Structure 1
Amino acid sequence: MTKETKRQKYTIEQFENTESLIGVALSHDGTSVLYASDRTGVYNAYSTQLNNGQPNQITYTTTNSIFPITYFPKDNRFLYQSDEGGNELTHIYLQDETGQVKDLTPGVKEKAGFLGWSKNDNSFFYESNKRDERFMDLYEMDIETFTPQIVFKNQDGFQISEVSPNKQYVALHKSFTANNSDMYIYSNDGGLEHLSPHEGDVQYIPVAFDQTSNYLYYLTDEENEFLYLKRMNLMTKSIETVAIEDWSIIMAQFSKNYQYLIYAINNNGKVEIKIMNTKTGHFVEIDNLKEGQISDVTISHNEEKIAFLLNSSNAPDNLYVYDLNQKKLTCLTDTLNPEINRDDLVKADIVHFSSFDDLTIPAIYYKPHLNEGEKAPALVWVHGGPGGQSMVNYNPLFQYLANHGYAILAVNNRGSTGYGKTFFKAADKKHGEVDLEDCIEGKNYLASLDYIDEDRIGIIGGSYGGFMVLAAMAFKPNEFEVGVDIFGVSNWERTLKSIPSWWEAMRDVLYKKIGDPYEENDYIRSISPLFYAENINKPLIVLQGANDPRVLKEESDEIVESVKKNNVPVEYIVFDDEGHGFTKRQNRIKGYQAIKDFLDQHLKDR
């Protein structure tokens, strides 16, 4: 008997009983860390004392998920955000040290987002659409009276990036297309200055001010395929490059006292974090760090500790703290369900294949553990977007399916982020066409592997990826044997005309990337699977959140009803308490079990 035959198979309950962590914040004195965990089945706020590592649950929701944002600068009160059933109308809440909660942004249709603390720690900045549901205005709220004051009235569709430490400037960003944007400075005297006049497609994205408020740091792909970090002297307008890498820099921020500059690199499907000491120019090296991706990095106020999450394709996020003085790394959690042996999980590989026009397409590949001579069924996974990316993260659905013998190829088709601006724009006004051909070539790549059964390959995806599933089944009905559509767009005409009001600033960007439903309606209908549903002749399962504001439930209702007329197997699961994504454990268990049962019946065992 080979070693592979002894590998244990796990239930979806076992996979979902692995704890999921989101967000990290250190307390003002660096003794406690705040984060979200779904160990109760719904995300709640937890704190852990660094001296003992014991988690302490501090919110107790059983319905709407809670995601902590930050501790207060001088005490252990904290802010968190939550919405109603996944409707994305997030509010900012205050919870004090006695457990009392106050909604600080209580507007019925208000959507609010935390931006940061003021330099003197007496107030914080946030954005809200309560004045005009289309646009996010900038507010400052003092923490004595919790009275908001408007700082910048956003009437032209700007995105708010940063407020300078001296409160004199607000850095703004405006996108014209997904490939072209500008940055501006709003002054507290009411002036607005355009900082990036240019020609052609160039991104300018402000990310931070320096401690003196004299320099604005920003990301740009000017004369480069990838984003890199520059800074501008706001007085002289002189510009210098701060950091440039072989791949795009996707985030940059300073620690509270500006001793450290943190930036993230999207390196071929993996996120790398660099932490530079601004006084020495040297990078922090964290000893004994396991392989994986770091996220949610935060540095304590005294700049002696770094807290972060770390995951890999076969290990879920765990919470770590690194002591910069003692050079000591401590893991505070062990989130993988102890019933699961990590050796039974699958480590993903980054692979590449050639598409129909010889363009190289990257992908993340999960090869199941197979017995000698065994032929595996396979799935092409398509990420959300348009413009998203599959990365080498821990994914319980992937691990569950791989554990039960399915190979998964997460294709980063043209139009995906992370591979340069030329690759990113290569599917504009061609969605459901050239990117679908990339997915078909991904299927062909799988079929070329001698341990894959070429007659048992399906397609699966969520959101934009769900649209790609439907497009494959409607426009190329003989390519894939089954489809798994997770809240996917079926009718671009409806979706583009009914985008959430708070996306108004990005409406034209979407229209220029996908198509204008008012000016190019014939084209929009030509790429909408709903109008070609009679072509779908293979089994289909659809999962949908009833409160989804991005892909309305009608999108899934109508495609399901249309495909039923074709006399092919169709399954439909709706979660009444979810939106664009499934945050509750029991819903994920139900949905993922249904996906596997469907695949077992219509792909694996046929």
Structure 2
Amino acid sequence: MTEANKQATRKKYTIEQFMNTESITGVSFSHDGSSILYSSDKTGVYNAYSMDKSGHNINQLTNSTTDYIVPVSYFPEDHRFLYESDQGGNEITHLFVQDDNGQSKELTTGAEEKAYFQGWSKDKKSFFYESNKRDSRYMDLYEMDIATFSTKLLFKNEEGYEISTISPDKSMIALHKPITANNSDMYLYSKDGSIEHLSSHEGDVQYIPVEFDATNTYLYYLTDEDNEFLLLNRVNLNTREVELVAKEEWDIRMVKFSPNYQYLLYALNNDGKIEIKLMDTNTDQFVDIVGLPDGQISGVTFSQNEESLAFLLNSSNSPTNLYVYDFTSKQLDCLTDTLNPEIDQADLVEAKVVHYSSFDGLEIPAIYYEPHLETGQKAPALVWVHGGPGGQSMVNYNPVFQYLVNHGYAVIAVNNRGSSGYGKSFFKAADLKHGEVDLEDCVQAKKFLTSTGKIDEDRIGIIGGSYGGYMVLAALAFQPDAFKVGVDIFGVSNWERTLKNIPAWWETMRDALYKKLGNPFTDTEYVRSISPLFHAENINKPLIVLQGANDPRVLKVESDEIVESVRKNNIPVEYVVFDDEGHGFTKRENRIKGYQAIKEFLDTYL
């Protein structure tokens, strides 16, 4: 088939069709391994569902029409389950239990109490959870009995620790304490009330505790000590001897044991792709998952009998699906087919991991989505900037990217300096230089785009959410001729205000943010210098802004004021506000409205 014929047969899809692809998350096995619990937005709002291990008998378990519901776990000996939910995206998550009769009970009831599940006790009689009901700044650790739902305080957090993991015998709690975004410590709390510092060091080194072993002898932890990337060590809690467990050429991230400690699993962040490795703890040999397709893996969970492994997998042109692997039969089954059947996957594009040189020769990684083009045709393009600071764009399925690319726009998702996943030097390379060197990395993406010979260099815009939304505003304010349009999705316009008003439960990260972006109380002049609101008179390109009214991180006033200021410049500004959303849009109808507005804006101005 000629390229012209291929173009003729490729279909264009509406945003409704892309959004009617099901999104799933939150996977858990039932106690007997027969049922799988998960969250789906099939109804337009995330609700809890269950299916049997073969993928049949799908049941909707909750019926929220307003707020998302994400199940966190079945109970260890019955089919009750725990779930988390907030109100209107305010991020004040509460814990709920639903019984076998479908009745739900709220377990954490404080109006301003943020709570989330930590894990089950090994005796299966209680679970651990974190709550800031005592002090809104810090998360304390509680244990809740599942027969009476009575609670007791296990650890009173008065020094800004993060609670990492609890030993199987409940005698110890591993604590993580951020100092900056590049430097942290780990501590060991014992039931006698003592706290021991386990990671005395000099300079910027990360120490992140992740798991105790079955015998309460070893604490496993991640560190980049004497290494550019995070590796996995363990320390003997009796002798304090340290052993290397695993070292890779990229960051090791998530680490977990199977319920009976037969397997140790960890995730590897390989150049924008998440891979998992599974080790048999009896032999220290890696275990292959036979037939595993290429893609991003998340939500990994073991059945209690360790016979099965469930996980979510997606790729750049295939949405997330639920898989189950049987260790005995070595059979891998995909239990879901979430892509809207109205969409032909062949019409979607596969992203490429690319690298290009920035202004100073530093290599910048990026994820590139190129539309199907006829010979000689040149496309408009968008530079996407991820959230953060310190986030990372990965080779994930992104329905918005696929929607825009399906309608002829190229997208390059830039991992500018300051992004995670590429080593500690790259991660801290933008500290106290945000809106400057990282912005220049995004501008330099234009050279890569034009070098392909398939992009119209006069039609390149910039788009991003959260910190990425800030970068959009920074680009328009500080380099007003770099991009033709800006798409700001709940981006920061005034760092002075945002850094002074971060949510109380971010207290443990407050100093780290100040050291990365500037202290708004002592470095006011600098913080204002990188804040687009104070330079809005420079913005001379069309802008669209999307904002959730309940956003606790980037307050609505951030968008209100930048919109008001830019409109004074007599340039086109569009503003879309969702009254029932927070930091990110969870309701399908809102996503449809917002992303349709973005495309219509781009069709008009780019």
| Pairing partner for 2:280 from 273, 277, 282 | 277
Are residue 487 (structure 1) and residue 490 (structure 2) matched? Answer: yes
CA distance in 2, matches of 1:102, 1:364: 43
Q: Within the alignment, does 1:202 sit opposite 2:205 as a pair?
A: yes
Aligned equivalent of 2:546, options 538, 543, 548: 543
Three-state SS of the structure 2 residue aligned to 1:518 is coil
Q: Distance in 2 between matches of 1:171 and 1:120?
A: 19
Equivalent residue for 1:95?
98
What is aligned with 2:601? 598
Which of 228, 243, 254 in structure 2 is aligned with 1:225? 228
Shift of 1:50: 1.5
Secondary structure of 2:286 counterpart: coil
Alignment of 1:132-151 (within 5 A): 132-151=135-154
- Measured after TM superposition, the shift of residue 281 of structure 1 is 1.8
Match of 1:134, SS?
coil
Aligned residue for 2:354?
351
Query: CA offsets, 1:354-393, max 9 Å, x none?
Result: 0000000000000001111111000000000000000000
Do 1:5 and 1:371's aligned partners in 2 also have CA atoms closer than 8 Å? no
Please tell me whether the aligned partners of residues 260 and 306 of structure 2 are also in contact (alpha carbons under 8 angstroms).
Answer: yes
Please tell me the residue identity of whatever aligns with 1:224: N
Within the candidate set 489, 507, 513, 2:516 is matched to 513
Alpha-carbon separation, structure 2, partners of 1:221 and 1:5: 52
CA offsets 1:501-523 (integer angstroms, 9 cap, x no match): 01111100100010000010000
Match of 2:127 among 110, 124, 138: 124
Deviation, 1:52, is 5.2
Q: Does 2:258 correspond to 1:255?
A: yes
Of 387, 395, 398, which residue of structure 1 is paired with 2:398? 395
Of residues 473, 478, 481, the one that matches 1:475 is: 478
Partner Cα distance (1:410, 1:52) in 2: 34
Deviation at 1:269, TM superposition (A): 0.2
Q: Which residues of 2 match residues 422-433 of structure 1 at below 5 A?
A: 422-433=425-436
Q: Which amino acid aligns with 1:472?
A: A
Matches within 5 A, 1:311-326: 311-326=314-329
TM-superposed CA distance for 1:113, in Å, is 1.1
The counterpart of 2:65, out of the listed 55, 62, 65, is 62
TM-score (norm 1): 0.99
Q: Does the 8 Å contact 1:2/1:371 carry over to 2?
A: no
> In the aligned structure 1, how far is the partner of 2:147 from the partner of 2:343?
48
Secondary structure of the corresponding residue to residue 2 of structure 1: helix
Q: Which amino acid aligns with 2:564?
A: E
C-alpha displacement at 1:291, in angstroms? Answer: 1.3
The equivalent of 2:572 in structure 1 is 569
Match of 1:384 in 2: 387
For residues 8-407 of structure 1, what are the structure 2 equivalents within 5 Å? Answer: 8-51=11-54, 53-407=56-410
**Secondary structure of the structure 2 residue equivalent to 1:181:** strand
Return the match for 1:582 from 585, 593, 600: 585
Please report how far the alpha carbon of residue 246 of structure 1 lies from its aligned counterpart in structure 2 after TM superposition. Answer: 0.6
Structure 1 residue 259 displacement after superposition: 0.5
Question: Partners in 2 of 1:476 and 1:96 — Cα distance?
Answer: 56
Q: How far 1:135 moved relative to its partner? A: 0.3
The amino acid that maps onto 2:580 is D
C-alpha distance in structure 1 between counterparts of 2:330 and 2:428, whole Å: 43
Name stretches of at least 5 consecutive residues in structure 2 with no aligned partner: none
**1:82 Cα deviation from its structure 2 partner:** 0.2
Take 2:239 and 2:53, find their aligned partners in 1: how far apart are those partners?
45
SS in 2 for 1:217: strand
Per-residue CA deviation, residues 155-194 of structure 1 (Å, 9 max, x unaligned), is: 0000000010011100000011000000000000000000
Q: Is the 8 A contact 1:86 1:579 kept in 2?
A: yes
2:464 — aligned with what? 461
Cα distance in 1 between the residues matched to 2:159 and 2:513: 17
CA contact (8 A) 1:377 1:406 kept: yes
CA distance, structure 1, for counterparts of residue 27 and residue 227 of structure 2: 33
Identity score, percent: 70
Contact 1:58 1:99 in 2 (8 A): yes
Aligned pairs for 1:494-533 within 5 A: 494-533=497-536
Alignment pair present for 1:559 and 2:562: yes
Amino acid at match of 2:247: I
After superposition, give the CA deviation of every residue in 1:186-217 in whole Å (9 maximum; x if it has no partner). 00000000000000000000000000111100
Aligned pair count reads: 603
Matched residues in 2 for 1:156 and 1:484: separation?
Answer: 40
Question: CA–CA distance in 2 between the matches of 1:67 and 1:85?
Answer: 14
Instruction: Report if the CA contact (8 A) 1:232-1:238 is conserved.
Output: yes
Stretches of 4+ aligned residues off by more than 3 angstroms: none
Counterparts of 1:585 and 1:334, CA distance in 2: 18
Name the TM-score, length of structure 2 as normaliser.
Answer: 0.99
Q: Distance in 1 between matches of 2:578 and 2:474?
A: 23
How many Å apart are 1:445 and its aligned residue?
1.4
Q: Secondary structure at the match of 1:54?
A: coil
Deviations 1:434-489 (A, max 9, x none): 00000000122112221100000000000000000000000000000000000000
**Aligned amino acid, residue 200 of structure 2:** P
Aligned partners of 1:452 and 1:54: how far apart in 2?
48
CA distance in 2, matches of 1:282, 1:310: 24
Q: Secondary structure at the match of 2:391?
A: coil
Q: Which amino acid aligns with 2:231?
A: Y
Counterpart secondary structure, 1:450: coil
Aligned residue for 1:517, secondary structure, equals coil
CA distance in 2, matches of 1:24, 1:189: 36
* SS in structure 1 of the partner of residue 580 of structure 2: coil
Once the two structures are superposed, residues 503-556 of structure 1 have per-residue CA deviations (whole angstroms, 9 ceiling, x without a partner) of 111100100010000010000000000000000000000000000000000000
**How big is each residue's C-alpha offset from its partner over 1:76-122, in whole Å with a ceiling of 9 and x where there is no partner?**
00000000000000001000010111111111100001110011010
Superposition deviation, residue 4 in structure 1: 2.1
Report the Cα distance in structure 2 between the residues aligned to 1:77 and 1:280, rounded to whole angstroms. 36
1:275 deviates by 1.2
Matched position secondary structure for 2:525: helix
| 2:444 equivalent in structure 1 | 441
Kindly report the root-mean-square deviation, in angstroms, between the aligned alpha carbons of the 2 structures.
0.7
Deviation of 1:284 after TM superposition, in Å, equals: 2.2
Matches of 1:441 and 1:49, distance apart in 2:
50
Distance 1:51 1:418, change over 3 A: closer
In structure 1, C-alpha distance between the alignment counterparts of 2:190 and 2:25, rounded to whole Å: 35
**8 Å Cα contact 2:54-2:335 kept in structure 1:** no
Name the CA distance, whole Å, in 2 between partners of 1:114 and 1:208. 16
Distance 1:568 1:150, change over 3 A: same
Unaligned runs of 5+ in 1: none
State how far apart, in whole Å, the 2-side matches of 1:426 and 1:247 are.
18
CA distance, structure 1, for counterparts of residue 73 and residue 545 of structure 2: 37
Call closer, same or farther: CA 1:444–1:52 in 2, change over 3 Å. Answer: closer
8 Å Cα contact 1:218-1:230 kept in structure 2: yes
